[in-house]
Structure 1
Amino acid sequence: MQKNSLKPSSLAIIASLLAFSPFSLADDKPYTVTDGQALDSATFNGYKLYRNWCARCHGTYAQGMVGPNLADSLNVISKDEFIASVTHGKMGQIGMMPAWESNPQVMEGMDQIYAYLKARADGAIGEVKPSKAK
């Protein structure tokens, strides 16, 4: 009787394919938007933090001003790159983004800010003042 077993190299290939498949378990939508402008509690808090700390350079709704359009940028950069830029700052073509690592509100709300910006990047919410979903 022949024993059917997968070799370690076969398992590695299968694992790689699953990791990059559309059926990945990664949460690529860290937000919930209803009625085109009502955000879940965490994402709404991210919007408030964004308005308080980020909007002065990146625009009221992340559409860009002195700083780049983050609604577009989050379609290009990864969450890890976003976190690194916010934490450590970044030198760009038009100037420098400051590091926010010493700001506890920004650091503790990083995932929430990302969720709001990801909703903007995905087109789930437009350039509107959102509300908190009930």
Structure 2
Amino acid sequence: MSLWLVLPSVVAFTLAAGFGASSQAELAAGKFYEIVGGKVDARTYNGFRRYHGSCNHCHGPDGMGSTFASALVDRLPDLEVFRRNVRDGVRSGPSVMQGFADDPNVAPYIDDIYAYLQARADGALGRGRPERLEN
């Protein structure tokens, strides 16, 4: 087989693998959100909705904090700590956060909420309702 017949296939495969590796590399780097052209993926959008339905009352709009609950965008813990804190609650000095392990509007969506807060913490997503990527 001629090298000229094989070369276009190798180049096409290499380019396709490179593009796939980029998003896989982001996931491997611990990025749980995807933002393309200022629009967010379904997980991050759902995280925004869930956060504003249950968490913003204490942690403030867009994770910015309030007078009685910490800002989450300033010091977002790693995913495992975040999951545990949301499920089990937090008791630290006078600060008490209830656990949401039994809340059907929060517990199944902890990773989505994390994706939204991670995008905010990374500066990849501004304040306010994000636009959603079309599938």
Which aligned runs of 4 or more in structure 1 are off by greater than 2 angstroms? 23-27
Q: Which residue of 2 aligns with 1:33?
A: 35
1:44, distance to aligned residue in structure 2 (A): 0.2
Unmatched 5+ stretches in structure 1? 1-22
RMSD value, Cα: 1.9
Distance 1:127 1:24 in 2: 22
Superposition pairs of residues 1-134 of structure 1, within 5 angstroms: 26-36=28-38, 38-65=39-66, 66-74=68-76, 77-134=77-134
Bigger share in helix: 2
Aligned length: 109
1:93, distance to aligned residue in structure 2 (A): 4.4
TM-score of the superposition, structure 1-length normalised?
A: 0.74
Change (3 A) 1:40 1:88: same
TM-score of the superposition, structure 2-length normalised?
A: 0.73
Unmatched 5+ stretches in structure 2? 1-24
Distance 1:123 1:68 in 2: 18
Paired residue type of 2:70: P
